[in-house]
Amino acid sequence: MTKAEIIMLLMRALMTVLKPEYLKRMADFLIDLAEEAVNKSENKVDDMIVLPLCELVRKTFDIPDED
């Protein structure tokens, strides 16, 4: 079994036992990591692509930015 397969199995298991509010916090944390990485990079193309996608995910799934 590959690392990716193990991670997917763990994520599926977590998603079945975690309450929605915990999943939203986890998603907020992961989106924050992506946003932080993009903001630190000097590449402006990722700013135009990744940041709007992060915002779209937040709006679509009602995940507030709770920094």
Owner of token pair 């929605």: 20
Decide: pTM greater than 0.75.
no
Residues 56, 63: Cα–Cα separation, whole Å: 10
- State residue 60's pLDDT score: 95
- State residue 26's pLDDT score: 86
Residues 47, 1: Cα–Cα separation, whole Å: 35
pLDDT of 48 above 90: yes
- State residue 20's pLDDT score: 85
Report how many helices (DSSP H) and strands (DSSP E) the chain contains, helices first: 3, 0
Q: What is the mean pLDDT of the chain?
A: 90
- 50 token code pair: 């990744």
Angle at 64 between CA 36 and CA 12, to 5 degrees: 80
Q: How confident is the model at residue 11 (pLDDT cuts 50, 70, 90)?
A: confident
User: Within a 10 A sphere around the Cβ of 53, how many other Cβ atoms?
Assistant: 13
pLDDT of 55 above 90: yes
